[in-house]
A and B are shown apart, each in its own frame.
Chain A
Amino acid sequence: DAGITQSPRHKVTETGTPVTLRCHQTENHRYMYWYRQDPGHGLRLIHYSYGVKDTDKGEVSDGYSVSRSKTEDFLLTLESATSSQTSVYFCAISEAPQGSYEQYFGPGTRLTVT
Chain B
Amino acid sequence: AQKITQTQPGMFVQEKEAVTLDCTYDTSDPSYGLFWYKQPSSGEMIFLIYQGSYDQQNATEGRYSLNFQKARKSANLVISASQLGDSAMYFCAMREGNNNNDMRFGAGTRLTVKP
Decide yes or no: A102 and B4 within 8 Å by CB, A42-B105, A97-B99 being known contacts: no
Determine if B107 and A41 form an interchain contact, defined as CB atoms under 8 angstroms apart.
yes
Determine the residue in chain A with the shortest Cβ distance to B55.
Answer: A100
- Residues of B1-54 whose CB lies within 8 A of A: 4, 6, 33, 35, 37, 43-45, 47, 50, 52
Interface size on B, residues (CB 8 A): 25
Determine if A103 and B103 form an interchain contact, defined as CB atoms under 8 angstroms apart.
yes
Determine the residue in chain B with the shortest Cβ distance to A94.
Answer: B101
Determine if B99 and A98 form an interchain contact, defined as CB atoms under 8 angstroms apart.
yes
User: Which one of A50, A97, A104 has the greatest number of beta carbons of chain B within 10 Å?
Assistant: A97
Interface size on A, residues (CB 8 A): 27
- Residues of A70-84 whose CB lies within 8 A of B: none
Please, how many angstroms separate the alpha-carbon atoms of A45 and B19 in the complex?
29
- Other A-B pairs, 9, CB within 8 Å; known A59-B104, A99-B98, A105-B44: A41-B107, A42-B107, A88-B43, A97-B95, A97-B101, A98-B33, A98-B95, A102-B35, A103-B47
A: residues with CB less than 8 A from B are 31, 33, 40-45, 48, 50, 56, 58-59, 88, 90, 92, 96-100, 102-105, 107-108
